[in-house]
Structure 1
Amino acid sequence: MKISTKGRYGLTIMIELAKKHGEGPLSLKAIAQSNDLSEHYLEQLIAPLRNAGLVRSIRGAYGGYVLGDTPSKITAGDIIRVLEGPITPVEGIEEEEPVKRQLWIRIRDAVKDVLDNTTLEDLANFSEDDNVPDSYMFYI
């Protein structure tokens, strides 16, 4: 399964909104500028996210977008499914011989598990230090 720019940039929008959750609306222009992305492209991505209830729009001079729910309740899987469609590594799994079908199903389930168990809260609070293994302590 290959995630396109739709999925990647959609996740970027949602992570930025999660980082500002509770602080009021955030404009697509601000998101585009801070991430060096096309505002026009982000406008195309926000519509399906809004239609799915993942974001809400706030009108007015200080308007923009806010999350449709708390960051802990929206998963990466929710976003990817809206923007990319069903999560499947291979088309036509049903027609594969059983041994290959089993492999594709296991891959699909592993990807789904990661996406469905990673929340916007996890992504918004991620820091480089979270990914660094503990240092060793040597005593002489």
Structure 2
Amino acid sequence: MRSRLTLAAAAAALCLSCLPAMAQSTDAQSNAFATADRFSYQDGEALYRAICQGCHMPDGKGAEGAGIYPSLASNPNLEAGDYPIYMVVNGRKAMPSFEGLSDAQVAAVVNFIRTHFGNGYTDPVTPEDVTSTRPAE
């Protein structure tokens, strides 16, 4: 009985000692999403794979679980390029903003999403479109 209590106490102490490291890792991960210098990718597909697919899934069909991650596949909301630009730059509800991405990076990932996953919106958005969508400073 005593050895079980000792083992349980040791396991609890080990778990508690990991909390600060876990918190630092989480902070580092969330900061990585906020700054463009952490993402050297310029290609829309590479940006999608590095940033978006974790929630929206590799096939763009979204997911449900701890939250609802909308499907990007065959999504009529993507027809107007301003909408996905706004979502990437500003975020909404559970989606974080990615204002740290450059205008060219935002345009690249938006163009990728609008031309893949069953979407056929071939009118490209430009970095200038992104600039005009960003909030005034």
The two structures have a TM-score, normalised by structure 2, of 0.24
Flag the structure with larger Rg: 2
The two structures have a TM-score, normalised by structure 1, of 0.23
